[in-house]
Amino acid sequence: MLSEQIISRLTKIVGAERLLLEAGELQHFGVDRTTIWRANPSAVVLPGTIEEVQQVVLLANECNLAIVPSGGRTGLSGGAVAKDGEIVVAMDRLNQMLDFNPIDRCVSLGAGVITAQLQDFAAERGLFYPVDFASTGSSQIGGNIATNAGGINVIRYGMTREWVIGLKVVNGAGEILNLNRGLVKNNTGYDFRHLFIGSEGTLGLICEATIQLTRPPAASTVLVLGIDNFPAILDVLRVFSAEIDLSAFEFFSQAALDKVTEHQGHVKPFETRTPFYALLEFETANESVLESAMALFETCVEEGWVLDGVLSQSLAQAKALWKLREDISETLWHWQPYKNDISVRVSRMPDFLREVDELVAGRYPDFEVIWYGHIGDGNLHLNILRPETLSNEEFVAKCGSVSAEIGQLLAKYEGSISAEHGVGLLKKDYLHYSRSPLEIKLMREIKKVFDPNLILNPGKLFD
Ligand code: 2HG
Ligand code: ZN
């Protein structure tokens, strides 16, 4: 509970209508997509300017209040969960396009702009914002930057980090930093912008960003292949990427396809059932790319890697094929899945996957594990479905042990416990499998530089 005095000071900063205290509103703004923690913020504020954000942070420092920054709350690691009476600072009102420059091909915008809005804004000007993933309809740019969001085009365009050329943030001390100011080249010492990208709201609140846009791709074709075994997926990746610039190379298991076709009513790509499926996308500006793709498909069939396949003949078909992959995450919410988002170097994936499979099958035989992910960049989404016999608490506890064992394997394979979703609350206990004690110590010290009173998103990333 906040004191009357703090409530009145917050009201002065943002106005009575922008200070939310009702139980329903607290519930709404206090969680992300995770279902493990209960929302329990003490208040939600909706600032309308960077100066208002600054005032809230200064007040929090003065009165020792914790802040949870909040974007579209589509996160999957609990990074935006407010469970301990924190003040949620929601960026929804910082949702303006501020400046567009066609020569620099960049746009400055408020952190609360929805990702799809930015994509549309770019398209309307003959440009392209390439970071794309299933929740672009509700995720906000500020949250994407705070988690360095990845998605389905990373092999071609990189992660969010690649597209941020300027940032305005309020750090934990309540100071405003205007970082990099839209420059492409700027070698003037430490680039703080990159420290804030992916910092999960632990160093500052991202209020504005300048985003680089690019030329739109030519029309694309989607190819879905039925694959005989996991190592064969990598053979397919190798031969295709040797000849064609792929914009996506995704994979999913037969179990994932079954769930998505049964629950969403999507049509199967073809009748043959295969253990794994790969989805490839590439630009087809000219016929020769299609000819190469067909020839490569035949090679893959001859080698015995690929058992069946379908090539999109229209934009509508390409979109329908994408849905088989993109709707998996949404479909699996039905089972309250425990999510792992891990990466290893692509070349190590078959051995790693075999070891994880053996581990889960041997030690947790009642768990159904659904595999899918962005195989082209080494990122696997391993979703464990909750068996009906286990309560959510029992299930989460058991999955924690699985994560620790997978963490040990990741350490052996020099992989990452979080490829793209971030650490948040969900993975902080496993951070040490990917980062050395020295690195974690230095991260804590860096946090203190930007957030000396440790008021920003406490308990996220590390304790
Ligand atoms: C995806 O690639 C998203 O579909 C979500 O990153 C993954 O829900 C997941 O585990
Ligand atoms: Zn993903």
446 lines ligand 1 (CB under 6 A): no
- 295 and 278 in a single domain? The answer is yes
- 322 and 224 in a single domain? The answer is yes
- 83 and 186 in a single domain? The answer is no
Task: For the chain, give the number of residues.
Answer: 463
Q: Identity (one letter) of the amino acid at 118?
A: L
Domain boundary among 193, 212, 231: 212
pLDDT at 10: 98
Q: For every one of its 463 residues, what pLDDT tens digit does the chain have, with 9 covering 90 and above?
A: 899 999 999 999 999 999 999 999 999 999 999 999 999 999 999 999 999 999 999 999 999 999 999 999 999 999 999 999 999 999 999 999 999 999 999 999 999 999 999 999 999 999 999 999 999 999 999 999 999 999 999 999 999 999 999 999 999 999 999 999 999 999 999 999 999 999 999 999 999 999 999 999 999 999 999 999 999 999 999 999 999 999 999 999 999 999 999 999 999 999 999 999 999 999 998 899 999 999 999 999 999 999 999 999 999 999 999 999 999 999 999 999 999 999 999 999 999 989 998 998 898 888 999 999 999 999 999 999 999 999 989 999 999 999 999 999 999 999 999 999 999 999 999 999 999 999 999 999 999 999 999 999 999 999 9
- 135 and 177 in a single domain? The answer is yes
pLDDT at 1: 84
34 lines ligand 1 (CB under 6 A): no
Ligand 1 nearest atom to the CA of residue 329, by list position: 8
330 lines ligand 1 (CB under 6 A): no
Residue 170 lies in a domain: yes
Domains in the chain: how many in total? 4
- 113 and 197 in a single domain? The answer is yes
Which residues contact residue 242 at a Cβ distance below 8 angstroms, ignoring those fewer than 6 apart? Answer: none
Residue 344 lies in a domain: yes
Spacing, Cα 381 to ligand 1 middle (Å): 6
339 lines ligand 1 (CB under 6 A): yes
- 20 and 74 in a single domain? The answer is yes
Ligand 1 nearest atom to the CA of residue 383, by list position: 10
Domain boundary among 36, 66, 92: 92
What is the rounded CA–CA span in Å between residue 92 and residue 72? 8
Spacing, Cα 173 to ligand 1 middle (Å): 34
What is the rounded CA–CA span in Å between residue 183 and residue 463? 35
Spacing, Cα 91 to ligand 2 middle (Å): 24
381 lines ligand 1 (CB under 6 A): yes
- 102 and 208 in a single domain? The answer is yes
Residue 426 lies in a domain: no
Spacing, Cα 370 to ligand 1 middle (Å): 11
- Residue 29 sits in a domain whose CATH number is 3.30.43.10
Note the ligand closest to the C-alpha atom of 154. Answer: 2
Ligand 1 nearest atom to the CA of residue 421, by list position: 6
Number of CB atoms found within 10 A of residue 233's CB: 26
Spacing, Cα 376 to ligand 1 middle (Å): 15
Residue nearest to atom 5 of ligand 1 (CA): 329
Residue nearest to atom 9 of ligand 1 (CA): 329
DSSP β-ladder status, 43-45 and 87-90: parallel
Residue 447 lies in a domain: no
Residue 439 lies in a domain: no
Residue 365 lies in a domain: yes
Spacing, Cα 251 to ligand 2 middle (Å): 11
pLDDT at 96: 98
Residue 435 lies in a domain: no
Mutating to test ligand 1, I would choose from 377, 379, 381 the residue with most ligand atoms within 8 A of its C-beta, which is 381
Spacing, Cα 278 to ligand 2 middle (Å): 15
- 204 and 230 in a single domain? The answer is no
Owning domain of residue 61:
4-92
- 310 and 345 in a single domain? The answer is no
Residue nearest to atom 1 of ligand 1 (CA): 329
- 406 and 385 in a single domain? The answer is yes
What is the rounded CA–CA span in Å between residue 84 and residue 101? 42
Mutating to test ligand 1, I would choose from 74, 331, 333, 372 the residue with most ligand atoms within 8 A of its C-beta, which is 372
pLDDT at 363: 86
- Residue 344 sits in a domain whose CATH number is 3.30.70.2740
- 300 and 375 in a single domain? The answer is no
Residue nearest to atom 8 of ligand 1 (CA): 329
Number of CB atoms found within 10 A of residue 123's CB: 13
- Residue 307 sits in a domain whose CATH number is 3.30.70.2190
431 lines ligand 1 (CB under 6 A): no
Handedness of CA 80, 85, 86, 87 (dihedral sign): positive
76 lines ligand 1 (CB under 6 A): yes
Residue 52 lies in a domain: yes
Question: Which pair of tokens denotes residue 158?
Answer: 């990189």
What is the rounded CA–CA span in Å between residue 338 and residue 406? 13
Residue nearest to atom 3 of ligand 1 (CA): 329
Strand partners of residue 210: 108, 166
Domain boundary among 273, 294, 329: 329
- Residue 176 sits in a domain whose CATH number is 3.30.465.10
- 191 and 261 in a single domain? The answer is no
